[in-house]
């Protein structure tokens, strides 16, 4: 910026710049160097002093501090000009008020000048105030009071500095010296002898005297003597001379990582394909890095035709450019920041990320190129820089050059290869250097499909079959194949456990998992496999997935000793009828029972000692208890299916490969008519170039971010909520009504105190969510008296019911003993229903949480504030191609007949923000669901503020029939005839698995990658390999099926990338947990939560009617 239009010059000559000062839009005037404010307005002719003080604190202090801390040219703040550029003046302020602004005693370490300037407008003299805030050199401009606060200017914003920011700024400005700070006790055995020797040779080359190691290091500041005569390394001494500086400065290393994706995908990059660390003294790091780059094949070499004949080899990047970018990072980085130097190689770029911003005597843009910006030499680490320049490399050259020399050579060498100049992106805490290689035009791209792709499925191609073109004939053809497979397996030592809907579940006869005799005489676990036909792109595949079959081995007479006959009726069974057959027990009559045989579809009378019921787990548990057998069946099932193993994906893939090899050798070929059908033992793989036949097409999305307080965003939910606070953090008081048994009284008090104050990273409800939790007393209520005690409280305080301020919540301890998790008669469901119908939010707490709330307190506080109307986080950007998402579902009461249904909807806006819940009060017959869906959708859409042509996405997890969709469309078109309506069936009940064989992954397909299987279907990985949460078991992708109907009832081709993006974004918004994602979108996740609760309420009897005041809160969390 020229001196004539600098903040100082305009401060001195405001009349010359009146047009600039009064620009009609703040955004045209305000920026890195300028700001303007309108003074507090008078109320009833008077400006209150407290308004002036608040104005100084909120509007003047951050601006002056931000200018002083960030801008070498300082900054100008104008007081008395409105946001539209109108001069309103400060004439209405009295002399004391102006003096309180002019006396800059509310910040320290400043260079602020203030003056009043008069402007004549239409015969009226108006006064404006001008603040020039000069650069605070070697100081931090901060508030005078305590606690100290400081800011930095970033464009239009004044960003408050964190403790880390302040410490970094102090180092950058030389307020403190990181290099001279003591590091650790000195031990001569810790010195890198090679480094010391070379350094000493340089300094003592022509000296006529000798110094000991200690004397030399003391003389040059590598070590220092403490008052107790102990010798300590300084930070610079440890970094330069220690053989292992990382021991004391853990961030002192270089990490080189390769990602096989373009830089444009760096926010959604997959796991690295290479990872190497360079450690030791900083000279050793530089040497080792240089050797590796020169001698390895890490960077590519391109060939181009030489006009004179032959070929010329060109490096992917100039060696000098790579070397300078890394060496400059080592020499100039901020070692006080707890991160290493990262070097990332992408297919089209090399990126070096160095902790700390660029230090220059003038301000540089946050994003610039060496083509248009000249960097001067200003060292953050002058001592290290001096020592490095004294060292020589193998060629006798200095280890490092001055910054302006090195960056000039980088630019020139890049230009010689026809590459653009290096780009820089800098913040106070990070400098990013980006070198582009222009790879798309510098090398030939191969169009060959990659059959060795590490990403693959559990689908195996059939060979020797051509699918019938006619749909009906094709279905018959598939049935023939699956029947032939079933029969061949049954004749080859396999037991068929189930056979339905083209899917076989089978296990090898006699191959049970080992267990003690007392258990194996009651139940046995068999390793089993699911075999299913799948069709993609007119090709047939055999899906193979591993499972475990739980088979009770007790004959019916023994079962009846422990389980009543009434409970056994309608159970599935296996029985001896024409061999072993599957059936269902219809009736028990003395020594005989009637069984419906599935294969023959006949009812047969059989002796009860020929029938083995398939007992559900609850019944098996009852038998174990009666016989005194200690056996955790659910745990053993999880163990057998790898559900508790972090390496589950690889284990599952291995056993799948083994069984496919086995059936290939012993079951195939299958004889179908005159054809012999066999199968490939190589799975169907995925590739970005896949066509859906030989390879499935796979693509990836970047991890969505979510927004927290003050527009702070992060993809890591737990890190974001604890670091930034909730999106909605407006102050709110919530009264807790705690109830528990007398023996848990102190635990309840301690739990509430924990919610208030927090622990570990959780800073408590007020600092995290803006919510102050209060309570009067803990209400003593034993489990059997909970309902009566709550009834008494509601009778005493009728004003609590339906309070639309949502400023109160019941916190109830419901002991788990004596009730199963889905027992609708338990206090949990009875009390929850009672309070929900009364319009009062409630949060249940279990005994383990009361006894030890560690690592549970944050989620509990999150549930409480969300139920009381606070918004914890949202998406920072709107989700593409949708105005509202509506999750549709229904609850069906299986215990009281299959005809009782309750339908409901939950609504989210384009930012994924919860809007409201609709429905769930009327129970109707299942056959009448169509008309009720129509009424529900119509009522739901009527509550929304819709444009004339909105896009509404309906999500559902239970597949809707054609009639269901027609009814929903009819209702939607009655509200907005020209809308676009999208139906997305989100299916998690399938058996397709997607794997990634690279060793650096967990074995599952990376989260955010999606596979296109049909024109309207994708498989989206939502819990696969990711940096936020390593799931146990084998992640299963979501199968997303989409149908779009635009206006005029026209079907629309879906954008499958948009579909994947929508659903992936919606997995970030589960307010029930601070996990960074959930397995399914909240549209269906919340629908499932609602169905679970309302199902229990339906089993209790009577209509459940949620109080209207709770419809706009996630009451079901």
Q: List pLDDT tens digits, range 182-194.
A: 888 988 888 887 7
Span 352-364, average pLDDT: 83
> Is 433's pLDDT higher than 90?
yes
Span 795-801, average pLDDT: 90
For 29-61, the pLDDT digits (tens) are 998 899 999 999 888 888 888 888 899 989 999
Enumerate helices (H) and strands (E) in the chain, giving the number of each: 33, 53
Residue 445: the pLDDT is: 36
Residue 396: the pLDDT is: 56
Tell me where in the chain the CATH 3.30.420.10 domain(s) lie. Answer: 884-992+1037-1110
> Is 818's pLDDT higher than 70?
no
> Is 682's pLDDT higher than 90?
yes
Pairwise pLDDT comparison (843 vs 309), residue with the higher score:
843
Residue 657: the pLDDT is: 94
CA 137 distance to own-chain centroid? 40
Residue 471: the pLDDT is: 85
How long is the chain?
1117
**Topology classification of domain 729-867:** Rossmann fold (3.40.50)
Going by pLDDT thresholds of 50, 70 and 90, the confidence category of residue 951 is confident
By the 10 Å C-beta count (0-12 exposed, 13-18 middle, 19+ buried), 535 is classed as middle
Going by pLDDT thresholds of 50, 70 and 90, the confidence category of residue 404 is low
Structure tokens at 1002: 């967990």
Pairwise pLDDT comparison (440 vs 259), residue with the higher score:
259
Architecture, CATH, for domain 555-614 = Roll (2.30)
- Residues 1103 and 842: beta-carbon distance below 8 Å: no
Mean pLDDT of the chain: 85
Going by pLDDT thresholds of 50, 70 and 90, the confidence category of residue 560 is very high
Tell me where in the chain the CATH 3.30.565.60 domain(s) lie. Answer: 254-442
Give the whole-angstrom CA distance, residue 567 versus residue 505: 26
Residue 309: the pLDDT is: 54
Residue 607: the pLDDT is: 94
Residue 172: the pLDDT is: 83
For 98-125, the pLDDT digits (tens) are 888 888 888 998 999 999 999 998 888 9
The conformational region for residue 674 under phi > 0 = left, psi -120 to 50 = alpha, else beta, is: alpha
| Domain 884-992+1037-1110 CATH assignment equals 3.30.420.10 | yes
- Residues 99 and 56: beta-carbon distance below 8 Å: no
Span 407-419, average pLDDT: 87
For 685-744, the pLDDT digits (tens) are 988 777 777 888 888 888 888 888 877 888 888 888 888 888 888 888 989 989 888 888
* Cα torsion through 572, 577, 579, 580, rounded to 10: 10
Span 901-916, average pLDDT: 78
For 980-1021, the pLDDT digits (tens) are 899 999 999 999 999 998 888 888 998 999 999 988 899 999
Give the whole-angstrom CA distance, residue 529 versus residue 279: 48
> Is 897's pLDDT higher than 50?
no
Per the listing, tokens 């010296």 go with: 177
Span 520-549, average pLDDT: 92
Selected from 3.10.129.10, 3.30.565.60, 3.30.1490.20, 3.40.640.10, the CATH number assigned to the domain covering 254-442 reads 3.30.565.60
How far is CA 491 from each of CA 225, 494, 508, 672, 979, rounded to the nearest angstrom? 86, 7, 11, 16, 57
Structure tokens at 567: 């409970």
Query: What count of other Cβ atoms lies within 10 Å of the Cβ of residue 255?
Result: 17
Tell me where in the chain the CATH 3.30.950 domain(s) lie. Answer: 3-161
Pairwise pLDDT comparison (205 vs 292), residue with the higher score:
292
Residue 1: the pLDDT is: 45
> Is 920's pLDDT higher than 80?
no
Architecture, CATH, for domain 3-161 = 2-Layer Sandwich (3.30)
Tell me where in the chain the CATH 3.40.50.2300 domain(s) lie. Answer: 729-867
Lowest mean pLDDT among 130-134, 243-247, 1055-1059: 1055-1059
Residue 205: the pLDDT is: 58
> Is 758's pLDDT higher than 90?
no
For 860-885, the pLDDT digits (tens) are 888 888 888 888 988 877 677 788 89
Tell me the backbone φ, ψ of residue 1009, rounded to 5 degrees. -90, 140
- The Cβ-side half-sphere exposure at 368, using a 13 Å CA radius, reads 16
């Amino acid at each position: 910026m020229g001196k004539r239009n600098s903040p100082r010059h305009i401060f001195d000559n405001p009349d010359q710049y009146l047009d600039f000062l009064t620009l009609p839009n703040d955004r045209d005037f305000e920026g890195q160097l300028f700001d303007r404010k309108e003074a507090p307005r008078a109320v009833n002719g008077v400006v209150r002093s407290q308004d002036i003080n608040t104005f100084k604190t909120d509007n003047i202090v951050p601006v002056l501090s931000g200018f002083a801390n960030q801008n070498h040219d300082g900054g100008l703040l104008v007081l008395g000009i409105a946001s539209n550029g109108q001069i309103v003046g400060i004439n209405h302020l009295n002399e004391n008020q102006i003096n309180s602004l002019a006396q800059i005693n509310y910040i320290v370490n400043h260079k602020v000048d203030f003056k009043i300037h008069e402007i004549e407008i239409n015969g009226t003299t108006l006064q404006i105030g001008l603040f020039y805030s000069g650069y605070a050199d070697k100081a931090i401009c901060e508030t005078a009071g305590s606690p100290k606060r400081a800011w930095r200017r970033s464009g239009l914003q004044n960003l408050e500095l964190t403790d880390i920011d302040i410490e970094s700024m102090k180092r950058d400005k030389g307020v403190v010296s990181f290099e001279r700070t003591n590091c650790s006790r000195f031990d001569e055995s810790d010195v890198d002898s090679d480094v010391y020797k070379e350094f000493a040779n340089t300094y003592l080359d022509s000296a006529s005297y000798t110094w000991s190691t200690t004397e030399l290091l003391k003389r040059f500041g590598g070590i220092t003597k403490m008052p107790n005569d102990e010798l300590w390394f300084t930070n610079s001494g440890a970094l330069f001379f220690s053989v292992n500086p990382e021991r004391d400065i853990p961030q002192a290393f270089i990490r080189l990582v390769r990602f096989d994706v373009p830089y444009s995908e760096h926010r959604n990059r997959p796991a690295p394909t290479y990872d190497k660390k360079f450690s030791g003294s900083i000279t050793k790091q530089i040497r080792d890095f240089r050797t590796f780059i020169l001698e390895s094949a890490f960077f590519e070499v391109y060939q181009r035709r030489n006009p004179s004949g032959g070929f010329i080899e060109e490096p992917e990047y100039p060696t000098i450019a790579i070397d300078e970018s890394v060496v400059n990072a080592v020499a100039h980085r901020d070692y006080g920041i707890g991160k290493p130097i990262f070097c990332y190689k992408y297919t089209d770029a090399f990126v070096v990320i160095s902790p700390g911003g660029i230090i220059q005597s003038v301000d540089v843009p946050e994003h610039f190129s060496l083509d248009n910006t000249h960097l001067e030499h200003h060292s953050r680490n002058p001592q290290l820089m001096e020592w490095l320049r004294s060292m020589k490399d193998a060629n006798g050259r200095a280890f490092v050059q001055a910054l302006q020399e090195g960056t000039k050579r980088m630019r020139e060498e890049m230009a010689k290869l026809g590459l653009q100049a290096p780009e820089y992106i800098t913040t106070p805490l990070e400098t990013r250097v980006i070198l582009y290689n222009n790879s798309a035009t510098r090398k030939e791209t191969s169009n060959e499909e990659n059959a060795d792709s590490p990403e693959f499925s559990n689908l195996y191609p059939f060979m020797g079959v051509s699918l019938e073109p006619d749909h009906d004939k094709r279905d018959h053809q598939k049935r023939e194949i699956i029947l032939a497979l079933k029969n061949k397996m049954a004749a080859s030592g396999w037991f068929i456990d189930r056979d339905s809907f083209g899917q076989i579940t089978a296990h090898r006869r006699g191959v049970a998992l080992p267990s003690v005799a007392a258990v194996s005489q009651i139940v046995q676990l068999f390793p089993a496999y699911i075999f299913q036909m799948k069709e993609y792109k007119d090709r047939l595949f055999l899906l193979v997935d591993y499972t475990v079959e739980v088979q009770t081995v007790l004959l019916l007479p023994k079962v009846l000793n422990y389980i009543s006959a009434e409970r056994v009726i309608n159970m599935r069974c296996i029985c001896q009828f024409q061999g072993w057959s599957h059936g269902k027990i219809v009736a028990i009559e003395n020594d005989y029972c009637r069984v419906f045989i599935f294969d023959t579809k006949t009812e047969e009378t059989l002796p009860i000692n020929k029938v083995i019921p398939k007992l559900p787990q609850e019944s098996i548990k009852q038998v174990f208890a009666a016989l005194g057998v200690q056996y955790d069946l659910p745990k053993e099932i999880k163990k057998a299916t790898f559900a508790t193993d972090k390496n589950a994906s690889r284990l599952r893939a291995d056993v799948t490969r083994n069984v496919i090899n086995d059936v290939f050798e012993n079951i195939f070929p299958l004889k179908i008519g005159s054809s012999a059908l066999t199968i490939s033992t190589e799975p169907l793989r995925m590739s970005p170039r896949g066509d859906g036949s030989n390879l499935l097409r796979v693509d990836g999305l970047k991890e969505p971010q979510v927004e927290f307080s003050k527009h702070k965003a992060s993809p890591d939910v737990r890190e974001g909520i604890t670091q930034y606070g909730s999106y909605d953090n407006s102050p709110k008081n919530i009264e807790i009504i705690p109830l528990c048994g007398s023996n848990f009284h102190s635990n309840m008090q301690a739990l509430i105190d924990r919610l208030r104050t927090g622990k570990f990273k959780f800073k408590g409800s007020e600092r995290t969510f803006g919510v102050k939790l209060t309570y009067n007393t803990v209400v003593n209520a034993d489990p059997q008296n909970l309902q009566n005690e709550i009834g008494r409280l509601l009778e005493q305080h009728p004003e609590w019911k339906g309070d639309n301020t949502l400023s109160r919540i019941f916190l109830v301890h419901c002991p788990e003993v004596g009730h199963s998790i889905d027992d609708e008669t338990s206090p949990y469901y009875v009390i929850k229903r009672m309070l929900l119908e009364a319009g009062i939010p409630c949060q249940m707490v279990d005994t383990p949480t009361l006894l030890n709330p560690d690592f549970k307190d944050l989620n509990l506080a999150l549930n409480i504030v969300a139920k009381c109307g606070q918004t914890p986080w949202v998406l920072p950007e709107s989700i593409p191609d949708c105005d509202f998402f509506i999750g549709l579902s229904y609850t069906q009461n299986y215990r009281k007949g299959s005809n009782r249904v309750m339908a409901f909807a939950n609504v989210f806006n384009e930012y994924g923000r919860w809007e409201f819940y609709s429905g769930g009060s009327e129970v109707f017959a299942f056959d009448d669901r169509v008309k009720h869906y129509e009424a529900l959708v119509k009522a739901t859409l009527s509550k929304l503020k819709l444009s004339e042509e909105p896009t509404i996405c309906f999500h559902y997890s239970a597949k809707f029939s054609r009639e269901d969709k027609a009814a929903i469309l009819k209702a939607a078109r009655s509200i907005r005839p020209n809308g676009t309506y999208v139906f997305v069936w989100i299916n998690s009940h399938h058996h397709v698995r997607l794997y990634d064989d690279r060793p650096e992954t967990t074995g599952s397909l990376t989260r955010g990658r999606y596979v296109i299987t049909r024109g309207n279907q994708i498989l989206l990985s939502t819990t696969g390999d990711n940096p936020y949460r390593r799931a146990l078991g084998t992640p299963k992708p979501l199968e997303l099926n989409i149908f779009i109907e635009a206006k005029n009832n026209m079907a629309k081709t879906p954008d499958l990338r948009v579909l994947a993006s929508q659903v992936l974004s919606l997995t970030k918004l589960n307010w029930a947990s601070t996990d960074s994602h959930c397995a399914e979108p909240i549209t269906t996740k919340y629908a499932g939560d609602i169905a679970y609760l309302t199902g229990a309420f339906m089993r209790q009897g009577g209509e459940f009617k949620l109080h209207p005041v709770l419809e706009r809160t996630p009451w079901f969390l």
